[in-house]
Chains A and B, each alone.
Chain A
Amino acid sequence: MTHDTIRTGRPAAAQRSAISYTLNGEPVSCEVDARTLLVHHLREERNLTGTHIGCDTSQCGACAVHLDGRAVKSCTVLAVQVDGREVTTIEAVRGQGPDDLHPVQEALQSKHGLQCGFCTPGMVMTALELLDTDQALTPEQVQHGLVGNICRCTGYQNIVDALVELSASESGGTR
C-alpha cells in the first residue's frame, strides 16, 4: 500500500451504513464502514477503551462484550451487525462495592485474579454469563467456561478460585 492511500484513508468503494443500537443502555445512531469490527467501533468511534484487543485470530477473548445479553468476541462481529441490538461493555459493569465494583470484579480483586489486567475486562464479561445460573460452579465448569479467554499473567488458578467462590456464595452454597 502506498503512503498516498494510507493518507487519503478509505478506498472509494467503502460502504457506510447507518446503524441505531443501544450501547450500555443509551441509544446510539451513527454511520459505520461495513468492514469496521465492533471492537474498533467501540474503542475508536465511541471512545470506550475498556474493551481490549489481544490477538488477530479471534482466540483471546480480551474483546468480549455482551450482544443481546450473550458474551461474544467483539473483534469477530461487524459493527454494522449490531443495528437494532443491544451492546453492553465493561464500562457498564457496576456494583455496590467500593469504587462501584461489581461482585465479579471484587472477587477477582480480592483473590488476586489479575496482574497486568489486560485480559480482565474480557474475563469479567465472560464470567457474567457463566455465573448467570443458580448453581454453584465446579472448578472444572469454570475452567471450561473460560477456554475462550486467554490470560498471560495469572496462570488462571486465582481467576478460577475467585469465580468458584463467588458462585458458591451467590447460590447460597447449594449445588
Chain B
Amino acid sequence: MIPSSFAYAAPATLRDALSLLAEHPDDTKVMAGGQSLIPLLKLRLASPAVVVDISRLKALGEIEETPSAFRIGALVTHDRLLGDEAITEQWSLVRDAGEELADPLVRNRGTFGGSLAHADPAGDWPAVALAADAVIHVQSQRGAREIPANDFFTYLFTADIADDELLTHVELAKPLPGTVTAYVKIDHPASGYAVAAAGVSLTIDASGTCRAARVAFTGVATTPLRSAAAEQTLEGSTIDAETIQRAVDHAADGINVIGDGYAPVDYRRHLIGVVTGRAIRRALDRRNCTPDNHERPHT
C-alpha cells in the first residue's frame, strides 16, 4: 500500500537533525534503515506528519574500538555489525543473533540503533544488548544521556527515549576474561521473528565457577528482558548438568509470559526453558576454543 503523505527531511548533520526534532516533537518519526518504519507506513499503522531521515548522518555510522569497549554507531547496519570480526569474535552471540536476524536484504539496510529504539518485543538485538550489558547513548538539544540496556526497554515497542532524542551510539564493553556467550532463537516459520530466544553471557573463573551470568529473552513478554531466576541459579555455581537443568526449570519464573495463537503461554514458557538450556550449552561449548581452557563440565 502507499503511505499517507508526510513532509520529509534528510539532515546532513546531527545538529540539524536534533534541531528538527526539537521543532517538531509531535507527530514526527525518525527514520534510520526504515526496515520497521516503512512497513508500518505502508500499512498505515503509522502516519506521521514529518519524517526525519537520519540515514545521511555519517557520524552515526561508525564502529570504534577502544582498549576497553566497542562504540557502535546507531546507523551501523545489521550486515556491517555481522561483518565486524573483532566484535563477533569477542561477543559470539552477536554473530549468532545477526545470522538469524531477518534476511540479507533487510540486513543490508536495517540498523542496530533502529532495532533498539524500535524496542520490538521480539527484536533480536535488544536481547543481545541485555545479555552484553550494553549502554545506550541518546542525545537531544537538551543534552546527552546514557541508559543501561536493562533500563531501556519499557513496554511494547517503547523505549526510554523521548521524541526529541536520537539514539547516537551503543557502548559494548569488551567481555571480561573467561566470558563465553551465545544466542539461540526459535523463530516463527513465516515471520522469522523470535517466538522465544535467549542471549546468554557467562563469566567463568579459573576454578570453573561462574562469576557473572546474564540470561536475556526476547519474543516472550511485553519487552525483551532478563531472567533474574536463571542468572541467580548460574552465578556462584560450577555449571554442571544439574545447574543447567535448574536454570532451565526456573528461567520463566517471575516473567509475565505472553501467549498468542501460534504459541500459547504454556508452550512459550516451555520454549523459554528450551532456549535457555541450548544457549547455556552453546556458550559452554565455546570454552573449548578459548586459550586458557579448563576441563569442560559435563552438560
Contacts and interface: CB of A to CB of B under 8 A. Distances in A.
B partners with A = yes
15 contacts: A15-B7, A34-B51, A37-B38, A58-B39, A71-B108, A76-B39, A77-B38, A78-B53, A80-B8, A130-B104, A147-B104, A148-B104, A148-B105, A148-B106, A149-B103
Interface of chain B, main secondary structure: loop
B11 interface: no
Given A13-B7, A76-B35, A56 B105 contact: no
B9 to A, nearest CB: 9
Contacts of A59: 191
Given A13-B7, A34-B51, A37-B2, A78 B102 contact: no
B104 A126 contact: yes
Contacts of B258: none
Given A61-B103, A73-B105, A78-B34, A37 B5 contact: no
Contacts of B103: 61, 147-149
Q: Which 6 residue pairs are nearest across A and B when measured between Cβ atoms? A: A148-B103, A34-B8, A35-B3, A70-B108, A147-B103, A14-B5
A77 B109 contact: yes
B55 interface: yes
Interface of B: 1-8, 10, 34-35, 38-39, 41-43, 49, 51, 53, 55, 79, 99, 102-106, 108-109, 191-192
Nearest to A125: B105
Given A35-B2, A76-B35, A58 B106 contact: yes
Contacts of B43: 56-57
Contacts of B2: 35-37, 40
Contact of B5 (A15, A61, A64, A78): A15
Contacts of B105: 61, 64, 71-73, 126, 148
Contacts of A80: 8, 10
Interface string A5-40: 000001101110100000000000000011111001
Contacts of A33: 5
Given A34-B5, A78-B38, 9 more contacts: A13-B49, A56-B42, A57-B43, A61-B103, A61-B105, A72-B109, A75-B38, A80-B8, A145-B104
